Amino acid sequence: MAHDDPRTMVSTDWLAAHIKDPDLRILDATWFMPDDGRDARAEYRACHIPGARFFDIDEISDHRSDLPHMVPPVEKFMSRLRAMGVGDGHQVVVYDALGLFSAARVWWLFRLMGQPDIAVLDGGLPKWVAEGREVEDLPPMVRDRHMTVRRQNQMVRDVTQVAAASKLGDHEILDARSPGRFTGREDEPRPGLRKGHVPGSRNVHYRDLLNADGTMKSPEDLRAMFDAAGVDLGKPAITTCGSGVTAAIINLALERIGKTDHSLYDGSWAEWGAFPTVPVATGDT
């Protein structure tokens, strides 16, 4: 990676050097696809970076919605984080057990809630473990900490806003799903969804933004990936994916190259693919 930035991404070396800082808080935000057959919380209990709290993406969400892990109400976010001992004045580092998969979603969620002092651990738990660094299976000591939330509504988009952007062409809509799902050649993992993509969107598969070891590519390489995908970085960007998790990897990558006018379509394909009145495109365009 190019450099450590406590508001976007930090290295394992940075975390090791700061792990005992009194105002550092570490979050394990591991989340697995429903058909992976893995239990993220159980894996956290068995092995996590010292002091890490478990951030449950499915639980800290809006349970009033039929869609998976939608943005929680502000009050719920505040209360859950306070109970985890995370609040104002803390530098947060978030990681996951797949290298870089679900951690970016929590980074984006903190930013949405007006909490900018959060960074993703580059390479996540796999890199930390591969380097022989300390792990533990003990629950952390937690003290309540007040959190002030100032929701940044411009960072999230709903189906109506995405439909308008698709029709007008005034945003770049960037889809993080695999090329097979984007073109409609592959079935969706969630039953009952149409196949294809939002008309006018571009496919930027999240894996193309990562190195083989799960770390994020350099800002120079990221910019080249966006160029190769035909992305006009002069337009504001809206990211999307299957259910709003890997889309945030694109948001993180955009932030790493200095682009700040980006948002995330929270409902993503779980909503668009089930919505009967919005159009679906297939193929490469």
Q: For residue 70, what pLDDT band results from cuts at 50, 70 and 90?
A: very high
End-to-end CA distance of the chain: 32
Tokens matching residue 237: 């960007």
Is the per-residue pLDDT at 2 higher than 70? no
Query: Of 57, 241, 264, 270, which is the active-site residue?
Result: 241
What is the amino acid identity at position 12?
T
Mean pLDDT confidence for 13-33: 97
* Angstrom distance (rounded) from CA 134 to CA 269: 38
- What pLDDT does residue 23 have? 96
Tokens matching residue 86: 């995370």
What topology does CATH give the domain 154-272?
Oxidized Rhodanese; domain 1 (3.40.250)
Q: What DSSP element (H or E) covers 166?
A: helix 159-168
Q: Where in the chain is the domain with CATH 3.40.250.10?
A: 9-151, 154-272
What is the amino acid identity at position 222?
L
Mean pLDDT confidence for 74-81: 97
Tokens matching residue 148: 């002030």
Is there a catalytic annotation at residue 241?
yes
- What pLDDT does residue 253 have? 98
Tokens matching residue 156: 């999230």
Q: pLDDT tens digit string along 166-177?
A: 999 999 999 999
The residue with greater pLDDT, 34 or 265, is 265
**CA 114, chain centre distance (Å):** 16
Mean pLDDT confidence for 4-28: 98
* Angstrom distance (rounded) from CA 60 to CA 79: 10
Mean pLDDT confidence for 210-218: 96
- What pLDDT does residue 35 have? 83
- What pLDDT does residue 1 have? 44
The model's pTM? 0.97
Is the per-residue pLDDT at 131 higher than 70? yes
- What pLDDT does residue 73 have? 97
Of the options 3.30.70.3270, 3.40.718.10, 3.40.250.10, 1.10.1040.10, the CATH number for the domain spanning 9-151: 3.40.250.10
